[in-house]
Amino acid sequence: MKFEVIKRAVTTGLVYAICVYFLYLSLIVSIITGVLVAGICLLDKKYMKETVQKRHRDGFLRFLEILLSYTAIPSDFIHAFSKALLEFKRIYPKDYMLTLIDNIYSKVMANMSTDSILQSFAEHMDIEEAYLFCDSIIICEKKGADLNRTIKETIAFIKEKRSIEQEIEVITEEKKTERLIVSLCPFLILALFNAMGTGYLDILYEGFLGRAIMTAAGILFLISSCLAKKILEVKV
């Protein structure tokens, strides 16, 4: 995950640095902007949380599929749960969820109550599906409902949600590419004029008025790009 965050920060910072360079033709301003944007991306908790939750959702689905095979055999739920934890560690020895699995397994070995174990599990996962599943299991335990059916329905729910999310990603991918191209077009035009060396835009790079116009243009480009990005964000 750290590599993904760093890669995104460096790429975004580089793009902003290039765009700002063609706005001001100043290498210093360009570098400062690139570093600041990269730093902001590295500190973007929302993106990091979404990335972690996406991984947790995939890992949670794999864990439920393992748990399903153990709950199919009549036994105490917490016993099946502990077996599933160990099996998950065996099948995925290098998974990013191992720390969480070890933490929850230690609670099981400490003979803590089912409620506290599941609540801790849901809090560590911090995804909607985990909270829903753990609440359902606690209710089933108290009322004696069918645990196997509950797990199957949770797996089906997660798979359906992931399928819808993937369909939305495919539908919006083309529009996201168009947004990126449209956002970069003004800067490509600036680069073209500067490369031609006609001096047509020299007035925009000299004096307070020229700098103010380019700054206002840059802000408008940024706002329009952010609005387009916001429009294309669809959450299930």
Q: Domain residue spans in the chain?
A: 1-43, 51-145, 172-236
56-70, 91-105, 106-120, 196-210: least confidently modelled range: 196-210
CA dist 24 and 22 (Å) reads: 6
With b for 16 or more beta-carbon neighbours within 10 A and e for fewer, the 15-40 pattern comes to: bbbbbbbbbbbeeeebeebbeebbee
Give tens-digit pLDDT for 39-69: 888 887 777 777 788 888 888 888 888 888 8
Which spans in the chain are helix H? 2-24, 27-42, 45-71, 77-91, 98-109, 114-125, 128-143, 147-196, 207-231
* pLDDT given at position 234: 66
Phi-psi map region of 2: left, alpha, beta (phi>0 left; psi -120 to 50 alpha): alpha
Mean pLDDT of the 78-94 span: 86
* pLDDT given at position 59: 85
Contact (Cβ atoms closer than 8 angstroms) between residue 150 and residue 142: no
Instruction: Quote the distance between the C-alpha of residue 172 and its chain's center.
Output: 16
Phi-psi map region of 92: left, alpha, beta (phi>0 left; psi -120 to 50 alpha): beta
Looking at the predicted structure, is the pLDDT value of residue 1 above 60?
A: no
CA dist 83 and 77 (Å) reads: 10
